[in-house]
Amino acid sequence: MYSKLQYISQGQSKDEQVLNIRKVLDHGCTWIQLRFKNEALREVSLLAEEIRLLTSGYGATLIINDHVQIAKDVDADGVHLGLQDTDVFQARLVLGNKIIGGTANTIQHIRQRIKETCNYIGLGPFRYTSTKEKLSPILGLAGYQSILGQLTEMERKTPVYAIGGIQLEDISEILNTGIQGVAISSALTDSRQQSSIIKHLLSTPNEKVNHSGPGI
């Protein structure tokens, strides 16, 4: 089952990452994307091993950002790949039927990702975010509405998530565009109301959510 909320982890150190992830798990988050950029592979691997044990204990989904082999080594639920990361077809050879998410910024990217058999697509950025280097053109609500409006019924079977600079006050309007869910980072990490935010978002009806993307 694909959660409507994806938490993209934050933290400058391994301990900060673990603390932030544990907090959102404690408050009911069920989908973690582990993102530990610009660190040595050994450090990412050690963190991934610990977070795999942690998420397993909570029954939560773990997606590793970028690192296909680490996702395989720790038996994560899948991997998320940027447009310049490992080729999706190569990742599929390594991971088999595990979840593969892919970043997109345009309707062409979405169709590329569907052809590549991505299980879900992260569409963004919604607005400027300092956590992402080499930021693609900002989409905003109008961008989401335009892109989603061009998708066919068949293309809509692959879940699309909004990502990039999303604040809590943006979520309702974003979901109204027909997007299936949101991936958020600092807005949740820094909030003092994590429990109510997570419960409210996960309990909000959304008939457009699809849990059967290709490859599952």
Q: Where are the domains of the chain?
A: 5-203
Give Cβ neighbours of residue 50 (< 8 Å, ≥ 6 apart): 14, 18
Residue 207 pLDDT class (50, 70, 90 cuts) = very low
In the structure, what pLDDT confidence band is assigned to residue 211 with cuts at 50, 70 and 90?
very low
Distance CA 57, CA 70 (A): 19
pLDDT tens, position by position, 172-185: 999 999 999 999 99
Helix, coil or strand: residue 155: helix
- Residue 86 pLDDT > 60: yes
Q: Which residue has the higher pLDDT, 207 or 117?
A: 117
- Residue 172 and residue 179 in contact, taking contact as beta carbons nearer than 8 Å: no
CATH architecture of the domain with residue range 5-203:
Alpha-Beta Barrel (3.20)
Residue % of the chain over a pLDDT of 70 = 91
The structure tokens listed for 122 are 């992260």
Cβ neighbourhood burial of 99 (10 Å; 0-12, 13-18, 19+): buried
**pLDDT greater than 50 at residue 200:** yes
DSSP 136: P
In angstroms, the CA 59 to CA 91 distance is: 24
pLDDT at site 206: 54
Task: Report the pLDDT averaged over residues 47-54.
Answer: 98
Cβ 17 vs Cβ 51: under 8 Å? yes
Beta bridge partners of 5: 182
Give the C-alpha separation, 214 to 216, whole Å.
6
Output the pLDDT for position 203.
Answer: 85
Gap between the Cα atoms of 24 and 195, Å rounded: 8
The dihedral over CA atoms of 69, 73, 76, 77, expressed in degrees to the nearest 10, equals 70
Question: Is the bond preceding residue 205 a cis peptide, omega within 30 degrees?
Answer: no
Mean pLDDT of the 178-203 span: 92
Q: What pLDDT was estimated at residue 1?
A: 64
- Quote the tokens at residue 147: 């892109």
Confidence of residue 205 (pLDDT cuts 50, 70, 90): low
Token couple for 47: 């963190």
Residue 148 has pLDDT above 90, yes or no: yes
Half-sphere exposure of 33 (CA within 13 A, CB side): 28
Amino acid (1-letter code) at residue 120 = Y
